[in-house]
Structure formats: structure tokens, C-alpha cells
Structure 1
Amino acid sequence: MGLMEALLRHHGPATAHNIYQTTCPIVKASIGQHIRHSMDHIEHAVRAALDPEHELHYDRRERGGADENQWDAAHDRLHKIANLIDNLSSTASDSVTEHPVGALFMLSGDTDTEFRLHSTLARELGFAAHHAIHHLAMVKIIATNEVGKLKESDLPPDFGRAPSTVNYDHSLK
């Protein structure tokens, strides 16, 4: 949320919403595409936790939806996913988080063949969170360069940085 607040503060609503959907020439994607992609992964994992029959097809996602192009739709989806996580947190037990799941990935762009990896819900929730951090690093590039024109100091501290990197940097002080 801190990213959009910074964009709104510096550019006003119309320009901030335009920046959200503008493709960055450096990374060939928009802030909205990275946010939608991250939400897709998190939502897949949470839905698998809520429905043990749900398989995680990470590469079968709907692209170009409202949450990718409209900040308000993304904001609504973020809150829905946060509520799902809250519900999961209140009912989670070892039997839920350690439930075995199949995580399916495409390992080549030459074919749409998916490969099944055996995993657990806890592992996939961790993967989705860690994966989102790396996409936020790309969002940071977009937000602080040609498209967003923000300063790094405009963003929340450690935005888009892996927890291990933050921890390491703190150990150097």
C-alpha cells in the first residue's frame, strides 16, 4: 500500500493510476502486472490450503484482468486475499499446513507441459511470499525510474528486499 500512497502523493490520482498500468521499458512489464502475478501465486497457495483438492497450477493464470490495469481492483483483491489469509491463520494447524499438495510448473516456454512437484501447503505459502518479494524488487525499479519517478526514500523501508538481505545488512551495522 505504501507504493500507491507514494505515487498518489507525488503525482495525483490520475497519473498514479496511469503509472500503475504503464509498461516499463527496462523490465517490459508494469507495476500492475507484477502485483497481479504476485497475488496470483499467493491466492493459489491460500486456496489450496482452504480446499485440499485444489492443485497449484502456478503458470495457468489469467493475465490482463482488472487488477492488473486498475489500482482499485488490485486494492480490492489484496484485501480479499488478506482476509483469506486471516481466515486460514485462525484455523491453521499442522495438519492443514503440512497437507501434501501438487505444485505444477512449466519448466520450458517451448511447450505448455507442466511438471508436478510434491510439496506441502506451508512450503508453497512460503514460496509465494518469497516470490512476491522478488517481484516487488522489479516494482521498485519501475517506481523509481522512468515510469514512476519516485525516490527510493519515498517507498517503505526495505521495499522489495529479501529478509535475508535485510538481516545481513543489519548485521553489518
Structure 2
Amino acid sequence: MHELTTVTDSAAAQLQQVRDLVALLDDAQYVRRPPGASSVAGHVRHCVDHYAALLAGAERGTVDYDRRERGGALETDRTLALARLDVVRSRVRALAPGVLDRPVEVSGIVDARGTVARSRSTVGRELLFVAHHAVHHLALMMPVVRTLGVSVPADLGYAPATMAFLRQRDGGTPA
């Protein structure tokens, strides 16, 4: 298997984990915002926005993670979020290995004044980034979901590297 195809598979798997988590919730739980935390809906929208920015940038040659829709229907409509996660996952899985090697320029705001920095990258490198970014947000969603009384699989919300370490160390999964 081509190494970059593994990046595609990993990103699709992370999106599936986010989708699986959203599917465990009801509509009220999806939008509930516990004190001092973001809602699951906010994290999901943020992850989808990053994937959408990358997918658009793969076609344009420029990725801008800061140009995204904040708020909106993904933060209020769980059914729409599930459908959008399916679409994004499908689009990620459809990326050809050659596309992953394509160079892109990544731009981002780096301070409160709005200063923009630019860097060269590839679609595959950025896909690796958004997959890791989604893992981070999935981990942030876990305490929120647990405060809602939802039972989740023990290994949900852990980075692949953490799971590999735990399996190597003791053959187990998180408690």
C-alpha cells in the first residue's frame, strides 16, 4: 500500500470516529454547552471546516484554515452534521495518491493584528494535519460527552500513536 494512501485511510477513520460519536448523541446533547466548555457541535463544525478548507485548497492550490464558516447549521443540526461528515469522509477517501503529493500554499493568521503567514506544503501533509487536529478535538469532546451521561467506547478520543503505544506496552486499550 502506498504510504500516502494510509494518510487518506487514517483521515477517513478519524472522520468516522467523529461521526460515530455524534451518532451516539441525541439532538439536545449534540448542542449542549456545559459551563466552561464548547459543545460537541462546535467541535464538529470546527473539524469539518478544516477538512473542507483542505479539500477546497487541494483544488485551488492554496489552503486557508482561517477562512471558514463559524456558527451555522452544523452547530445546530445534528442530522446535517452526520450527513456532512459522510460527504467529507467520502471526499477524503476519494483523494488519489497523486493528489496527495500536490504542492499547496498554506496561509494563516498568526496574531491578533491579522498578520498572515504563508508556508509551502503538500495536500498529503495537510491531510495528516487535519486528521491529527480532528483527534485533538475528539479528545476535547470526550469530557463533554461524559458529562452528558453518554457511554462511549474506551478507545474513542485517543490518537493513533497513543493507541499503538498502549498496545505495544501492555496489549491493552485505555481504561
For the aligned pair, the TM-score class normalised by the smaller chain equals: 0.7 to 0.9
Residue 71 (structure 1) shift: 0.1
Unaligned regions of 5+ residues in structure 2, if any?
1-18, 171-175
User: Residue 22 of structure 1: which of 28, 32, 37 is its match?
Assistant: 32
Q: Per the alignment, in what secondary structure is the counterpart of residue 61 of structure 1? A: coil
Q: Per the alignment, in what secondary structure is the counterpart of residue 94 of structure 2? A: helix
Q: Per the alignment, in what secondary structure is the counterpart of residue 106 of structure 2? A: strand
Question: How is 1:1-173 mapped onto 2 (pairs within 5 angstroms)?
Answer: 1-7=19-25, 16-27=26-37, 29-49=38-58, 51=59, 53-88=60-95, 92-94=96-98, 96-108=99-111, 110-145=112-147, 148-150=148-150, 154-173=151-170
Residues 61, 103 of structure 2: 8 Å contact kept: no
Residues 34, 135 of structure 1: 8 Å contact kept: yes
With normalisation by structure 2, the TM-score equals: 0.80
List per-residue Cα deviations over 1:118-156 (Å, max 9, x = no partner).
Answer: 1100000010001000000011011012xx222xxx213
List per-residue Cα deviations over 1:42-89 (Å, max 9, x = no partner).
Answer: 12222333x1x242111121111111111011011111112212332x
Moved over 4 A (4+): none
- CA distance in structure 1 between the partners assigned to 2:53 and 2:153 by the alignment: 26
Q: Which amino acid aligns with 1:171?
A: Q
Residues 101, 122 of structure 2: 8 Å contact kept: yes
Q: Which amino acid aligns with 1:93?
A: P
Residues 2, 155 of structure 1: 8 Å contact kept: no
- CA distance in structure 1 between the partners assigned to 2:105 and 2:28 by the alignment: 38
- CA distance in structure 2 between the partners assigned to 1:104 and 1:117 by the alignment: 7
Unaligned regions of 5+ residues in structure 1, if any?
8-15
Residues 136, 160 of structure 1: 8 Å contact kept: yes
Residues 53, 68 of structure 2: 8 Å contact kept: no
Give the corresponding residue for 1:11.
none
With normalisation by structure 1, the TM-score equals: 0.81
